Chains A and B, each alone.
Chain A
Amino acid sequence: MNTTVSDVEIKGATKQFGSNIVLDAIDLEVKQGELLTLLGPSGCGKSTTLNLIAGFLEADQGDVYIKGKKVTKVPPYKRDLGMVFQTYSLFPHMTVYENLNFGLKLRKISKAEQKEKIDRVLALVKMSGLEHRYPRELSGGQRQRVAIARALVVEPELLLLDEPLSNLDAKLRHELRLEIKRLQKEIGVTTIFVTHDQEEALSLSDRVVVMNAGKIEQISTPTSIYKHPKTEFVFQFIGKSNSFEGAVVAIDSQKISVKAGEEIVVVDYDNIIGEDRDISSGDEVKLYIRPENIHIASTRETSAPLELHPATITQMNYLGTSWEIDVSLIGKSLQVLTNDYDSSWREGREVFVGWNPSDLKLIKKE
């Protein structure tokens, strides 16, 4: 597989509904065979982007290329794509078989070949034997599988999925997510997956596109999105985080010292987020740290290399595999996520918290 060929390319696409700028000069490249997710809060323009690629909307400015061909003016039915909609959109008056055959019939292939392709794709989504059911007679998860099968059976150039799992319960969503990932790798079809669920995006994708208010904030691999967010928005949107405000008191070549409340904390120079990396003494800054990066211990001795600060537990939530513990650190509330749990911890108990300077992120306030 040649990963340098881009299957989809959007160049400077702008879309406006009335005075509402929904997409603001978006540039996006999707590589051949990759699974790319569009992630962002509701209303940020994910579906609009997908609709531009599918051809249901036309950009006010900019162009869309599929396999190197400009398709800006090509209607959806000539684009040869597969798409799965949030509402499944199975044809209610057709059986599963007829739904799958709909696209095949338009492609003028022999009856035998139609059946062969349908049987194959039904096996792929584990729905063999249900071809004579009507959509009404299927469960939500089964309908979703049929919708995916219907998009795949025509062997599209590109597979578009618009929040295909958002109507399902948590367990089924997890199951189908894994299945989509498996299928995608098995077939190797270039896929664009829209979601507002960050866990879904991180677990599925080769690359994640984080969108906000009609703009692309960052395009990276899931790990890099999580570990090296480029903007404050990305950091806040992906995962949970604690934030403090402070002012820079000293700078040397590698570290920045920030006074937050009464404490002086030290941040690595590499951990500055955002465009403005030009920090000087006296600047107002915000500090961020992820809950799972805060260490918590009953005594000072346990985590020797870290500097520990005394704090008080204010709330404890059991999450199944881990504990979410809220502590109060010199009047500031801090959320901690930990697997090491001491049974003597109670609300009101004094504990010690600390962190690695390399886990602290810093952003300059405007």
Chain B
Amino acid sequence: MEPVRSQINQERIEAEPPLKQKKLRKRKSWVPGLLLLVPILLFLFGFFVVPMLYILYLSFISTDSLSGAGAVYSLQNYITLFTDSYYLSSLWITVKISLLSSLVALILGYPIALTMAKSTPRMRAIITLLIASPLLVSIVVRNFGWYLLLLPNGTINSFLMNIGIINKPLNLLFSELGVVIGLSNAYLPFMVLAIVTSLYNIDPSLEKASAILGASPLRSFFSITLPLSLPGIVSGCVLVFSLSMSAYVTPALMGGANVPVMPVVVYDQINNLLQWTFGSALSYVLLATTLISVFIFTRAFEKSKFKEVFR
């Protein structure tokens, strides 16, 4: 009764070139392939690995003399950081804003991605262009554009006051809300493109199968399309979250001193207060927080009842 050979195996066998030929090809291309990677590996080592290790080293020095002589190695920087409520609250604000930005980008991005996945190739190209166009404008220019909209006497507040919904201006700018608006807007394209990729990968006949079994379009969406697009949702959220955690320009311009997110605080420590060692410790705590959050988030999905989707 057990079928002899599965369809997938068969396809794979047909698709593969004869063994001998394949081996030859592999041996030939292997070494030059690695050689091509040498420049980029050197580049990454020199300009990423070395400075990162140096910053890690600095973070364990508790005096401000950077040269070896008077340096005292300790965990003092980290202890200060975790006992001072200013830094802890900065970390919390950063996480909160990044989570909210991911959520807003997801809520706004999913319908766009869904529309894209269902439209004709021509329409899809147009939407892609529209979605990606903000990336073509410098982030600084865009931030000043938002100023015009969000200032207490800006377009949105004047409009709302004119029609009488509010009687004093909302704190849209220089608030957490402003930063979330800016970040979610800036990183929306990443969310949309991540989700749309996973929507494309869903076999359209699954939705047909679901319909013929009696599921309404809404039901099919929640039972089939949404779960199967989870990989896109997860990678989109991870992207937007990590980008938001490390964003500097948008929080600095949209939040100012009212919203001291970690990258702004780090910049302040290093560039204004010249606290290199403490700034280094702050950077590493930010990095670790991002990595741990992302790890927990993706793990949670990979262990959930939808784990099969992530294979």
Contact = CB atoms under 8 A, between A and B. Distances in A.
Size category, B interface: 20 to 34
Interface stretch (B36-44, B114-122, B156-164, B222-230): B222-230
Interface in A235-276: none
Interface in A145-198: 150-151, 154, 160, 167-169, 171-172, 175
A93 B215 contact: no
Interface stretch (A10-18, A136-144, A324-332): A136-144
Contacts of A75: 211
Interface stretch (B4-12, B89-97, B102-110, B182-190): B4-12
Contacts, number: 101
B168 interface: no
Given A92-B309, A93-B306, A134-B308, A77 B211 contact: yes
A85 B208 contact: yes
Contacts of B10: 140, 169
A136 B224 CA distance: 16
A317 B138 CA distance: 73
B153 interface: no
A71 to B, nearest CB: 13
A103 to B, nearest CB: 4
A53 to B, nearest CB: 11
Given A102-B223, A139-B2, A92 B214 contact: no
Contact of A77 (B3, B6, B214): B214
Nearest to A75: B211
Nearest to B230: A93
B213 interface: yes
B212 A141 contact: no
B203 A87 contact: yes
B209 A172 contact: no
B203 A89 contact: yes
B201 to A, nearest CB: 10
B209 to A, nearest CB: 4
A169 B205 CA distance: 22
A140 B208 CA distance: 20
Nearest to A153: B213
A107 interface: yes
Interface string B1-40: 1111111101000000000000000000000000000000
Contacts of A77: 211-217, 220
B309 A167 contact: no
A103 B4 contact: no
A343 B214 CA distance: 61
A139 B213 contact: no
Contacts of A136: 308, 311
B6 A54 contact: no
Interface string A114-145: 00000000000010000000101011111100
A81 interface: yes
Nearest to A126: B1
B210 interface: yes
A140 B7 contact: yes
Contact of A106 (B219, B309, B311): B219
Contact of A140 (B8, B219, B309): B8
Nearest to B220: A77
A81 B7 contact: no
B212 A93 contact: no
A160 B216 CA distance: 19
A301 B111 CA distance: 81
A8 to B, nearest CB: 15
Identify the interface centre among A86, A141, A143, A150: most chain B CB within 10 Å of its CB. A141
Given A140-B10, A169-B5, A106 B213 contact: yes
A135 B10 CA distance: 17
Contact of B209 (A89, A143, A175): A89
A51 to B, nearest CB: 9
Interface in A64-118: 75-83, 85-87, 89-94, 102-103, 106-107
B206 interface: yes
Contacts of B227: 93
Nearest to A78: B214
A80 to B, nearest CB: 7
A139 B214 contact: no
B214 A169 contact: no
Identify the interface centre among A78, A85, A134, A171: most chain B CB within 10 Å of its CB. A85
Identify the interface centre among A79, A82, A103, A171: most chain B CB within 10 Å of its CB. A103
Q: Return the 8 tightest CB-CB contacts between A and B, nearest first.
A: A140-B7, A141-B3, A103-B213, A139-B6, A89-B209, A140-B6, A106-B214, A89-B205
10 contacts: A78-B214, A80-B214, A83-B212, A93-B228, A103-B214, A107-B214, A136-B308, A140-B6, A140-B8, A141-B7
